[in-house]
Structure 1
Amino acid sequence: MSTDNKNFIVEGKLADNERLKTESNFLRGTIAEDLKDDLTGAFVGDNFQLIRFHGMYQQDDRDIRAERAKQKLEPLQNVMLRARLPGGIITTDQWLAIDKFAEEKSIYGSIRLTTRQTFQFHGVLKPNVKPMHQMLNSVGMDSIATAGDVNRNVLCTSNPVESEVHQEAYEWAKKISEHLLPKTRAYAEIWLDEKKAESTEEPILGSTYLPRKFKTTVVIPPHNDIDVHANDLNFVAIAENGKLIGFNVLVGGGLAMTHGDTATFPRKADDFGFISLEHTLAVAAAVVSTQRDWGNRVNRKNAKTKYTLERVGVENFKAEVEKRSGAVFADSKPYEFTSRGDRIGWVEGIDGKHHLTLFIENGRILDFPGKTLKTGCAEIARIHPGDMRMTANQNLIIAGVPTELKDKIESIAREHGLIADDVSPQRMDSMACVALPTCPLAMAEAERYLPNAVTEIEGLLAKHNLANESIIYRVTGCPNGCGRAMLAEVGLVGKGPGKYNFHLGGDRQGLRIPRMYKENISEQQIMQELDVLIGRWAKERNTDEAFGDFLIRAEVVKPVVDSAKDFHDESQVPA
């Protein structure tokens, strides 16, 4: 730890997670012993938290929890696994392997595409947990560090069209992911039966890892499809003459907060400046290690990088990163974000190959009645010579399709409901986290609520002659931010069954945080409010003015300018 700037270290009794990590023997704990205990489907004690560093969360089906309790059974304990897949690219062989496992070994049978540009298995029972990791390893994948107090899956703009720049950016996403991974061999020892390492060192993450989770992205303007302001560290690709020359570095974004705690808030990332490519890994390590040393290990609610920047000052943090990396930030290069959604349908790349982006509502790939999405994706994977790419908006790209297979792949996609010509712009611009019944943190519905909610909004838009318009609409079941509602024009944050905090005023580019307009209101009240506001938008908008921009101009809410100072300021919502 740096001996300078001791005032930047929070003193006090450490959070219990710090004890847990200290005593874990570099994330091993007693997970291996727990696997042998067939008296419970759970991982117990510290292992409940430690398995997160291995990419898993322990969950149960909350829909049947009460019924099982009546039967004197423990909850149906299982794990959710999130794979590590930098940039979201997966081969067709890998896809077929995960399709088979989901079908045969998970309770729900689905593949879930997530807002972290990877996939999740839900409902894996304890006897299948180790075989799951061994299956992933057999096809060149893992789930190392996709959860826990580490750098998680590195996102990269899903843009196969400009293939040369995208390929360079994707390679950097992979390098950053590998560079920041834990060096402990705990994952390989426990799940792959490798021989135990004699010693472990963690030169970047440290022996007690990070104070809190850490998220990194590589983004290629003008597409902000990974939502830079939701992440601790972002590398904004700067290209000249079709070649990547370096990155603007943005630090300190994050969306999570805690209900009722005004010391927590969503925050946009700060632009530190431009670096050339050769400094990329050193700067990534320096940002992570500075947060490692200065982050709050006393109060986990204030442990994320965004709070460290607020506490120590952006310039102090930036200077420390320069000192540790040996790089000096230059002035940022100009760039602009003009969109962040996925381009659904076919596009042709500069290399003459074709790319089909499939809209997957809520990212849930499963065979539904009359809509056999999972079977269709597998059929495409069996004949497709290119790769498949998961997006941070929960959609799937069939990338690199040769001209001679284009019609065949489209035919399969249509046959299985993967292409539907009647999907509205509103449905494509809506997103939700998983929430109930599997997420233990969920306070309200999100994924299961979204489809009907979107149908209602479609009706409101049609009522006010705006059927071809859309609103960036997102629902998250709790304030942890997985659905990225705090970068939406309309963002709902779960407060209780059927109740949400109702936020308004984000923008279409993902550059403005919405403000809470109404607290703890029902689904019906939300639609009533939207009916009025959409009606006003229809009558009072400027030419092509987006909904969120209209709400700010019309002073329905005032913009969030400095989250630490004004996000919770109730006076910013006019009476």
Structure 2
Amino acid sequence: MYTLEYPFLDGLIHPAQLQAALDHAPQGCRIASFSTIAIPLRSETIEQAIAEGDSLAADMNRYATEGASAADISTLLLQSTAQEEWTAFARRLNALSEPVSFPYHQIRSRGKIIHSSSPSPENRFAALHKRNRICLETPPHLEHGLFGCDFGFVAHTQGQPSGHIHLFAGGGGGIYGGSPALAPRPASWLGLYTCEEAIRAAQQLLAINAEHGETENPRKRRLKSLIATRGLDWLGEQLRRAGFTPYCGQPPVFRTSGEWSGDGDTDELLIPAPSGAIADEPGYPLSTALREHLPRLRHRLRLTPQGHLRLHPEDRATARLLHARLHTSSSQTPLAIASVACRGLPICKRARAAASTIRKETAAVLDTLLAESGLAHEPISFRISGCPNGCSRPMFAELALVGRSEGIYDIFAGGNRQGSRTARLLRQALPLHALPGLLSPLLNRYATAKRQQPGLAFGDWIICHMEQEQPPGDA
């Protein structure tokens, strides 16, 4: 089967574009990343597929936005009255990244590219395909995993980008149990700067890394390796010598991270796409519902980082109609919505175990265990990675599976919902079928603790539990 992979700059898709995709493929399409959808083609030969895909792409190009941004931009900023200004600011952050050039659209067969088109070489697939990962966020909710990014810029408000902005640096996943330079590390807050100063400070950090970091070692060339080995005090002194004043002000406060915020007004605008599929499933006719209601939308939809759809606040009435049509509250749980998985086996050649292909069923198992423990609809952040490379950022989740071999996973726990704390190893080399036996007693104990402390999050509780269970001398 052939598919057209079509990107959306900044993850924004015009209703007419999604309508065209679903009209072309009534059986549905798939969100391949937060900025790309894969649309099945009808053709049976390569030549026919190329002609069909180019024709569909040309139809969708009529509604395409102009320009590309290197940064992952918060929906709150993209939907603010200063959207154009924040998008322009994000484009300036391109100078901090080393984007990998991708064609504007691709036609694939069984994962292989058979045709590509690049009418505008300066346009890039956004965000996920670059060496330095950058996000532009605003409190209180994070979408793009700020603490796992090389650079994070956090706006005070959704107003014009002319005042001050927080700078974070040095985040990234990694391999548990390795050297500090390779271990997962949450990005550090480096202070409050004017927008211009923040960009120059980030450029200076890259220069410092080029001079003092192990840039010739592909595994240690990131800022997180430099900070992990040299320390924040040393880095702060380097910035002061360059004329900056780091660590001024107070760090911003975040409540949640990911797709599910727990805020009714925000979550009401989220339309879940299970496993990224914009298709009809038993009891959840997403493709049909969208085709019925897309003509009502007045604004572009957002393809979210975890493969769902988010509507504009001015389209709230349509969001309510979609939820009513889909019976979302009874068919989609917070854990299922917020769970993340990389491609894993058999799609990724680096993977050691399955990930995306088991996400839905594994999330369902966890939801069942939560319900049995009296914790139905508990929004635990859950991630699966097919190997220690951790493309789904498992080390920042409250609960995560990291593949060792087919059917065998290391279990990590103890991250938090903000994504600002790294998880710890809970159990090594556990067969997937043994996961319920491991988690059921833990969730029962967590439920007991939560009844005494209603606001207690699983990640916070499991950290305390693991510390209490740790044998003397193993610290």
Q: TM-score range by the shorter chain?
A: 0.7 to 0.9
Letter aligned with residue 465 of structure 1: G
Aligned mate of 1:394, from 307, 320, 328: 307
Counterpart Cα distance in 2 of 1:292 and 1:356: 43
1:279 lines up with 2:197 in the alignment: yes
Asked if the contact 1:505–1:557 (Cα under 8 Å) also holds between the matched residues in 2, the reply is no
1:498 lines up with 2:407 in the alignment: yes
2:30 — aligned with what? 111
Counterpart Cα distance in 2 of 1:193 and 1:243: 31
1:482 — aligned with what? 391
1:43 — aligned with what? none
Counterpart Cα distance in 1 of 2:249 and 2:469: 28
1:245 lines up with 2:157 in the alignment: no
Specify the structure having the higher radius of gyration (Cα): 1
Asked if the contact 2:323–2:329 (Cα under 8 Å) also holds between the matched residues in 1, the reply is no
Tell me by how many angstroms 1:371 deviates: 3.4
1:159 — aligned with what? 76
1:301 — aligned with what? 219
| Distance verdict in 2 for CA 1:335–1:133, change over 3 Å | same
SS at match of 2:18: helix
> For 1:534-545, what aligned pairs fall within 5 Å after superposition?
534-541=443-450, 542-544=452-454, 545=456
SS at match of 2:156: strand
1:27 — aligned with what? none
| Distance verdict in 2 for CA 1:570–1:531, change over 3 Å | farther
Asked if the contact 1:502–1:521 (Cα under 8 Å) also holds between the matched residues in 2, the reply is yes
Letter aligned with residue 446 of structure 1: A
SS at match of 2:375: coil
Counterpart Cα distance in 2 of 1:186 and 1:510: 29
CA deviation string 1:426-464 (max 9, x = no partner): 323422223233222222222221222222222222222
SS at match of 1:159: helix
| Distance verdict in 2 for CA 1:500–1:122, change over 3 Å | farther
TM-score of the pair, normalised by structure 1 = 0.65
SS at match of 2:166: strand
Aligned mate of 2:153, from 235, 239, 244: 235
Asked if the contact 1:373–1:418 (Cα under 8 Å) also holds between the matched residues in 2, the reply is no
1:363 lines up with 2:276 in the alignment: yes
> For 1:267-346, what aligned pairs fall within 5 Å after superposition?
267-291=185-209, 295-317=213-235, 328-329=245-246, 331-342=248-259
Structure 1 unmatched runs, 5+: 1-75, 145-151, 198-211, 560-568
Tell me by how many angstroms 1:396 deviates: 1.2
Letter aligned with residue 571 of structure 1: D
1:95 lines up with 2:18 in the alignment: yes
SS at match of 2:356: coil
1:533 — aligned with what? 442
Asked if the contact 1:515–1:557 (Cα under 8 Å) also holds between the matched residues in 2, the reply is no
| Distance verdict in 2 for CA 1:256–1:493, change over 3 Å | same
SS at match of 1:571: coil
| Distance verdict in 2 for CA 1:241–1:259, change over 3 Å | closer
Asked if the contact 1:157–1:225 (Cα under 8 Å) also holds between the matched residues in 2, the reply is yes
Counterpart Cα distance in 1 of 2:421 and 2:369: 24
Counterpart Cα distance in 2 of 1:528 and 1:215: 37
| Distance verdict in 2 for CA 1:183–1:462, change over 3 Å | closer
Tell me by how many angstroms 1:551 deviates: 1.7
SS at match of 2:474: helix
Asked if the contact 1:97–1:139 (Cα under 8 Å) also holds between the matched residues in 2, the reply is no
Structure 2 unmatched runs, 5+: 105-115, 123-129
Asked if the contact 2:32–2:38 (Cα under 8 Å) also holds between the matched residues in 1, the reply is no
1:39 — aligned with what? none
> For 1:77-92, what aligned pairs fall within 5 Å after superposition?
83=7, 85-86=9-10, 88-92=11-15
Tell me by how many angstroms 1:358 deviates: 0.9
| Distance verdict in 2 for CA 1:329–1:402, change over 3 Å | same
CA deviation string 1:79-105 (max 9, x = no partner): 99583633x33332443455567x49x
User: After alignment, is 241-250 or 383-392 more displaced?
Assistant: 241-250
Counterpart Cα distance in 2 of 1:185 and 1:496: 32
Tell me by how many angstroms 1:163 deviates: 3.0
Aligned mate of 2:373, from 427, 441, 464: 464
Asked if the contact 2:70–2:91 (Cα under 8 Å) also holds between the matched residues in 1, the reply is no
Tell me by how many angstroms 1:220 deviates: 0.9
> For 1:403-482, what aligned pairs fall within 5 Å after superposition?
406=317, 410-412=320-322, 414-415=324-325, 417=326, 419-482=328-391
Tell me by how many angstroms 1:503 deviates: 0.5
1:140 — aligned with what? 64
Tell me by how many angstroms 1:517 deviates: 1.5
User: After alignment, is 467-476 or 530-539 more displaced?
Assistant: 467-476
Counterpart Cα distance in 2 of 1:348 and 1:186: 36
Give the superposed CA RMSD. 4.3
Counterpart Cα distance in 1 of 2:32 and 2:141: 20
| Distance verdict in 2 for CA 1:462–1:314, change over 3 Å | same
CA deviation string 1:283-316 (max 9, x = no partner): 4444445545655343322232211323454455
Letter aligned with residue 136 of structure 2: V
CA deviation string 1:108-157 (max 9, x = no partner): 9623153xx4234388998668948877765436998xxxxxxx842122
Asked if the contact 2:78–2:86 (Cα under 8 Å) also holds between the matched residues in 1, the reply is no
2:460 — aligned with what? 549
TM-score of the pair, normalised by structure 2 = 0.77
Counterpart Cα distance in 2 of 1:536 and 1:274: 41
Counterpart Cα distance in 2 of 1:80 and 1:283: 40
Counterpart Cα distance in 2 of 1:558 and 1:299: 38
Tell me by how many angstroms 1:475 deviates: 1.3
Counterpart Cα distance in 2 of 1:266 and 1:136: 40
Counterpart Cα distance in 2 of 1:343 and 1:158: 13
Letter aligned with residue 457 of structure 1: L
Tell me by how many angstroms 1:276 deviates: 0.9
1:13 — aligned with what? none
| Distance verdict in 2 for CA 1:273–1:259, change over 3 Å | closer
1:571 — aligned with what? 474
